[in-house]
A and B are shown apart, each in its own frame.
Chain A
Amino acid sequence: MSVLIRGNPGDTHLMMGNEAIVRGALEAGISVAAGYPGTPSSEIIETLARLSPNTDPDNYPDIYTEWSVNEKVALEVAAAASFAGLRSLAVMKQPGVNVAADFLMHLALSGVRAGMVLIVADDPGALSSINEGETRLYAKLMEIPMLEPGNFQEAKDMTCWAFELSERLNMPVLVRTVTRLSHASGSVTLGTLTIPDRRAFFRFDGEVLDPMEGPIMTPPVEIKHRSQLAKLDQAAEIFEGSIFNTYEGPEAPELLIITTSICDLYSREVVNLYDLGNRVGILKLGTTWPLPSRTVLERLKTTRKVLFIEEVQPFIEEAVKVLFAGSDMVGQGMAGSGEAGSGTPGSGTAGSGMARPGIAFYGKLSRHIPMAGEMNPERITRALETILDLAPGLNGGYPVGQAETLPIPPREISFCPGCPHRASFFSINMVLALDNRRGFTCGDIGCYSMGMLPGGFSTLKTLHSMGSGSGLASGFGKLGRFGMNQPVVAVCGDSTFFHSAMPPLVNAIHNKSAFTLVILDNSGTAMTGFQPHPGLPVDTIGNQVPSIDIEKVCRAMGALTRTCDPFDLETTQQYLLDCINDPEGVKVLILKQACALSPQKRHTRSFEVKVDKELCIGDACGCNRICTRIFSCPGLIWDGESLRAEINEVLCVGCGVCASICPSNAIVLKEI
């Protein structure tokens, strides 16, 4: 990681896509970076944070790095730096752009000053998300230029160049990456580090329409909008000659693959595997909004079959088809015949004795590539089998395994041993079931989202976006007048509380909604790697800073608020019962216990835990293995021979909660 600042220009190092992006930003000379944790983007701010504090300002850059409270604020923090003349970086995952979208739209219209780049990391296939949203449409919607690196070198080079582009156009530039680029590693040759020599000053006295001297705002809207569109045209022109748009293959390929991002590597892999290099050409676009129309149309003229390889939505596919429909290729009687393998000549509209046959476009819209899910070489192979009439069942020499017959036990993902959420959800579930009125819990985003799974006793009955659990609960809590008598519970984490759960809480209190908010305070933003947040007395770098007390905030808002330890099941359940038995108003219960992987908890142990096999009744009526079958902490194991529970001494972290759930008192704790 230190190669990111110590490496010399020309050195080649192996680094993660996110690290390459960091190096690119350093080479561009940023001064400020802000973001909110979100996989697969988190390493960018984390890496920048670790480069501080700066002890050698002559040789290494000084950068203010911030984990902002949410993505909207992160974008605003970065924008402020840009307005004051400093290059800045904003970083988030795809749903974060949704949160920042309102500001982004206005920022695109108002323009920026010093170079400002928005890095967004998408998660096709939802490997670490609960959505596979598509960021690229934001470039079109917000009308800003967008770049998509296709490999690790480009991740660095394009990030660096994006600042230059941003300054030329006075526009924010979107750089879009995906999991397989951000989290994989490759060789990157370094450029030159820049120590920026800029003093922060916000100029605002000049002419209203002067981008560098006037106030920065969106009115007069129509004029600014037209100038924004003119800048986009400028960008398209700049993109025509870009080295980031590459072509490899024959001059007149039988099939032209148009691809972006990491899909380029999948495409090359398949073309090499089947030795199709003489039939298939690959046009990799790196400047993907606005599309450089000449670059694209020139390639289209060389072929009769085009296959779009991209993820997740058919963004380039639709944009290219629009370009094609508006081009002279159509005017000359050349029709696009579109779907399913019908690349027959002369199938176009009636024309004046035209000689040019149509183009068949293949991709997601023709269902050759599935509309949902992540791209992989197999999907490309399946498509090529149809389009190029390849022998079916090719799998590139990969042996097809007999995986289905292996006796692999189903292993659901679950909470860590010692996780406070397991205890919290156990109590919530128990209390709602005892109450018997079909009460339910609205979920939110964090490790505790796993409360929707069996490992969390399937407690969550709704799950959407950051802060939405509280918002939904605010709504549910008003339905009593329409006959709803089910107790409503919402959960949110300590970081989520600051991110976006406060407005719905205010809404609920003010509008007299009736629900219980359980704040699962594990002292950090755990799911994404334990980043700090405003509830903690440390900032992004680790300096001591004021923390904001969640309990006091809730009280100040006017909610009935209590705090207890989720490991104390009895007290937690009693407090929860009190909350759901109260038919009116908002009740907040803060369950405070540090995450098992947090700095203060890790490698500590409260108890030595053992099962007394004489007392354990195992799977008999009266227990039926509630510890291993229901509570299912990884530290508890079922011994199929003695038919008794056992503690896995390696995995158990000694939190002691399981002792409270054993109906036979067979789990014995010894204080350490």
Chain B
Amino acid sequence: MQILGPAELSNRILARDLCTLCGACADLCPYVKSHQGKIARLFSCDKETGRCHAACPKTGVDQEKNSSSLFHKPLTENPLGHYRSVHMARMGSLITREKQGPGKEFQNGGSVSVLVIAALQMGMIKSAILTGSHGIIPDPRTVTTPEDVLECAGSRYIAVPTMAMFNRAASKGDENIGVVGTPCQMAGLANLRTNPLEFPDFKDPTGIAIGLFCTWALDGDGFLIYLKGKEIDPAHISFMDIPPPPAKAAILTLGNRQDMTRREVKIPLEDLRKLVLPGCAVCPDMTSLYCDISVGALEHDPGWNTLIVRTEKGERLVDYAVEKGLLTTAPISGESMDGLALAAQNKRERAVSAQRSMGMLDPEFQKPLKPEPQKTIMGFR
């Protein structure tokens, strides 16, 4: 795949609504910024090749390059990507639901939160970029303490450009930054970590990358309008969960744990499907292929996570977390593995088909645009 520039990014991805708001293109320069949950283009940049285009997972992921740089292995056909081991996992005895404070609630096994706490404790990372929330509205943050990590617990269903925050931290000179993100965010991160424009003084500031399983994300504006129509106050939503099939509805919990009026509201999945970002349709990655550890739900047990350990670094972190009682792991059944692989394969096939129909697999998609210089008011081009 070709590394092109901001014009191609703008024209082929942003203008065509293929952006899934990972944020990897944003805050690397003055021209592409993340602001209030959206990607904004400021002024005009005429560079022929740019990190924005290279980072974007939709312009094309150099799978060969990412595989070799992250895993030191060639590309694999396995729909679950490269991994060293797969487990069931949940938070260990040290942090239980009872001991958890009045902060956010864990999703499933709560493994992501405890892994980040473990990484901070063992000094693998100095800070972590997580996505907290106000009610249902996601809010990327930099955290450095276990309490702040716990404040970000729970899954976010609305897309938000968290990677832009990572870019800001990296350009400040931060090192050993931990990141938790969706597959597109992990792909964007992986792209950037390969130093695509070959800067001579490039340093990878990533401490650990934890990816999430994901099938789709919601458009924030659309979802808020929908909730308003249902007279649900987004600020009061303390928890959202989408149970595995055959569930037909998502469950919103209004009011936090201490709230006497706490109640649950069901949202039909077919309503939610209409609010999914169009760009999610072309995403082939269900389990976050390009990171150190991937974490998601375990289909048959809502109290546990599926944990995919991909790199040696990820393995070290998991071992530490288990040792310190922060994380509990158990062997995963063959049935679960098969189910997971099938789901991942299906997503990949749907995405490739969608990409083909959007022209993203055509050779034209990799060619530079030749925009006509526009005339200014005084008549110059």
Give min CB distance, A254 to chain B, whole Å: 39
A661 touches B42 (CB 8 A): no
B40 touches A621 (CB 8 A): no
A28 to B376 alpha-carbon distance, docked (Å): 48
A663 touches B40 (CB 8 A): no
Kindly list chain B residues whose C-beta atoms are within 8 Å of the C-beta of A626.
30-31, 43
Query: Is A611 on the interface with B (CB-CB < 8 A)?
Result: no
Q: Mark B32-48, 1 if CB is under 8 A from A, else 0.
A: 01011010111111110
Q: Mark A447-482, 1 if CB is under 8 A from B, else 0.
A: 000001110011000000000000000000000000
Query: Is A1 on the interface with B (CB-CB < 8 A)?
Result: no
A453 to B380 alpha-carbon distance, docked (Å): 11
A412 touches B378 (CB 8 A): yes
B43 touches A630 (CB 8 A): yes
A619 to B36 alpha-carbon distance, docked (Å): 28
Give min CB distance, A187 to chain B, whole Å: 36
A621 touches B30 (CB 8 A): no
A624 touches B45 (CB 8 A): yes
Query: Is B69 on the interface with A (CB-CB < 8 A)?
Result: no
B29 touches A623 (CB 8 A): yes
Query: Is B49 on the interface with A (CB-CB < 8 A)?
Result: yes
Please pick, from B41, B47, B378, B381, the residue contacting A413 in the complex, using a CB distance under 8 A.
B378
Query: Is A434 on the interface with B (CB-CB < 8 A)?
Result: yes
A454 to B51 alpha-carbon distance, docked (Å): 26
Query: Is A430 on the interface with B (CB-CB < 8 A)?
Result: yes
**In the complex, given contacts A410-B381, A622-B29, A624-B29, what are 18 additional A-B residue pairs having Cβ atoms less than 8 angstroms apart?**
A410-B380, A429-B42, A430-B42, A433-B40, A433-B41, A433-B43, A434-B35, A434-B40, A435-B40, A436-B40, A621-B28, A621-B47, A621-B51, A621-B197, A622-B28, A623-B29, A624-B31, A663-B30
A621 to B380 alpha-carbon distance, docked (Å): 26
Kindly list chain A residues whose C-beta atoms are within 8 Å of the C-beta of B46.
624
A452 to B377 alpha-carbon distance, docked (Å): 8
Q: Mark A592-624, 1 if CB is under 8 A from B, else 0.
A: 000000000000000000000000000101111
Query: Is B50 on the interface with A (CB-CB < 8 A)?
Result: yes
Q: Which of B222-270 contact A (CB under 8 A)?
A: none
Q: Could you say which interface size class chain B belongs to?
A: 20 to 34
A621 with B29, Cβ < 8 A, contacts A412-B376, A436-B35, A453-B376 known: yes
In the complex formed, the residue of A with least CB distance to B54 is A621
Kindly list chain A residues whose C-beta atoms are within 8 Å of the C-beta of B36.
434-435
* Interfacial residues, chain B to chain A (CB-CB below 8 A): 28-31, 33, 35-36, 38, 40-47, 49-52, 197, 376-378, 380-381
A371 to B269 alpha-carbon distance, docked (Å): 66
Give min CB distance, A594 to chain B, whole Å: 27
A340 to B374 alpha-carbon distance, docked (Å): 38
Please pick, from A412, A454, A661, the residue contacting B30 in the complex, using a CB distance under 8 A.
A661
Give min CB distance, A337 to chain B, whole Å: 39
In the complex formed, the residue of A with least CB distance to B37 is A436
A447 to B44 alpha-carbon distance, docked (Å): 24
Kindly list chain B residues whose C-beta atoms are within 8 Å of the C-beta of A621.
28-29, 47, 49-52, 197
Kindly list chain B residues whose C-beta atoms are within 8 Å of the C-beta of A663.
29-30
Kindly list chain B residues whose C-beta atoms are within 8 Å of the C-beta of A435.
35-36, 40
B47 touches A434 (CB 8 A): no
Kindly list chain A residues whose C-beta atoms are within 8 Å of the C-beta of B33.
434
A457 to B31 alpha-carbon distance, docked (Å): 13
Kindly list chain A residues whose C-beta atoms are within 8 Å of the C-beta of B35.
434-436
* Interfacial residues, chain A to chain B (CB-CB below 8 A): 410, 412-413, 429-430, 433-436, 452-454, 457-458, 619, 621-624, 626, 630, 661, 663
A135 to B40 alpha-carbon distance, docked (Å): 47
In the complex formed, the residue of B with least CB distance to A452 is B377
Total number of A-B contacts with CB less than 8 angstroms?
Answer: 58
A453 touches B28 (CB 8 A): no
In the complex formed, the residue of A with least CB distance to B44 is A630
A237 to B380 alpha-carbon distance, docked (Å): 52
A454 to B376 alpha-carbon distance, docked (Å): 7
Kindly list chain A residues whose C-beta atoms are within 8 Å of the C-beta of B29.
621-624, 663
In the complex formed, the residue of A with least CB distance to B48 is A621
A457 touches B40 (CB 8 A): no
Most central of B41, B44, B52 by chain A CB within 10 Å: B44
A412 to B377 alpha-carbon distance, docked (Å): 9
A626 to B30 alpha-carbon distance, docked (Å): 8
A429 to B44 alpha-carbon distance, docked (Å): 12
B43 touches A429 (CB 8 A): yes
Most central of B40, B42, B49 by chain A CB within 10 Å: B42
B51 touches A622 (CB 8 A): yes
A410 to B376 alpha-carbon distance, docked (Å): 11
A-B contact pairs, 24 of them (CB 8 A): A410-B380, A413-B378, A429-B43, A430-B42, A433-B40, A434-B36, A434-B40, A435-B35, A436-B38, A452-B377, A458-B376, A619-B47, A621-B29, A621-B51, A621-B52, A621-B197, A622-B28, A622-B51, A623-B30, A624-B29, A624-B31, A624-B45, A624-B46, A626-B43
Kindly list chain B residues whose C-beta atoms are within 8 Å of the C-beta of A454.
376
Give min CB distance, B77 to chain A, whole Å: 33
Kindly list chain A residues whose C-beta atoms are within 8 Å of the C-beta of B28.
621-622
Give min CB distance, B106 to chain A, whole Å: 33
In the complex formed, the residue of B with least CB distance to A622 is B29
Most central of B29, B43, B45 by chain A CB within 10 Å: B43
Most central of A434, A435, A454, A621 by chain B CB within 10 Å: A621
Most central of A623, A624, A661 by chain B CB within 10 Å: A624
Kindly list chain A residues whose C-beta atoms are within 8 Å of the C-beta of B38.
436
Give min CB distance, B224 to chain A, whole Å: 14
List the 10 shortest-distance A-B pairs measured between CB atoms, nearest first. A410-B380, A434-B35, A433-B42, A434-B40, A622-B29, A621-B50, A630-B43, A436-B40, A436-B38, A624-B45
B47 touches A624 (CB 8 A): yes
A341 to B317 alpha-carbon distance, docked (Å): 94
A71 to B2 alpha-carbon distance, docked (Å): 61
Give min CB distance, B113 to chain A, whole Å: 32
Give min CB distance, B143 to chain A, whole Å: 25
Kindly list chain A residues whose C-beta atoms are within 8 Å of the C-beta of B43.
429, 433, 457, 626, 630
A410 to B29 alpha-carbon distance, docked (Å): 27
A434 to B31 alpha-carbon distance, docked (Å): 10
Kindly list chain B residues whose C-beta atoms are within 8 Å of the C-beta of A452.
377
Give min CB distance, A475 to chain B, whole Å: 23
A435 to B29 alpha-carbon distance, docked (Å): 17
Give min CB distance, A670 to chain B, whole Å: 24
A530 to B50 alpha-carbon distance, docked (Å): 45
Kindly list chain B residues whose C-beta atoms are within 8 Å of the C-beta of A429.
42-43
Give min CB distance, A466 to chain B, whole Å: 20
Kindly list chain A residues whose C-beta atoms are within 8 Å of the C-beta of B377.
452-453
Give min CB distance, B30 to chain A, whole Å: 5
Kindly list chain B residues whose C-beta atoms are within 8 Å of the C-beta of A661.
30
Most central of B33, B45, B51, B197 by chain A CB within 10 Å: B45
Give min CB distance, B164 to chain A, whole Å: 12
In the complex formed, the residue of A with least CB distance to B51 is A621
In the complex formed, the residue of A with least CB distance to B5 is A621
In the complex formed, the residue of A with least CB distance to B34 is A434
B197 touches A434 (CB 8 A): no
In the complex formed, the residue of B with least CB distance to A662 is B30
A434 to B41 alpha-carbon distance, docked (Å): 7
In the complex formed, the residue of B with least CB distance to A623 is B29
Give min CB distance, A3 to chain B, whole Å: 39
A433 to B44 alpha-carbon distance, docked (Å): 11
In the complex formed, the residue of A with least CB distance to B39 is A436
Kindly list chain B residues whose C-beta atoms are within 8 Å of the C-beta of A453.
376-378
Kindly list chain A residues whose C-beta atoms are within 8 Å of the C-beta of B47.
619, 621, 624
B40 touches A412 (CB 8 A): no
Give min CB distance, B196 to chain A, whole Å: 9
A629 to B261 alpha-carbon distance, docked (Å): 58
Give min CB distance, B310 to chain A, whole Å: 29
A454 to B36 alpha-carbon distance, docked (Å): 27
Kindly list chain B residues whose C-beta atoms are within 8 Å of the C-beta of A624.
29, 31, 45-47
Give min CB distance, A667 to chain B, whole Å: 13
Give min CB distance, B294 to chain A, whole Å: 30
A90 to B198 alpha-carbon distance, docked (Å): 68
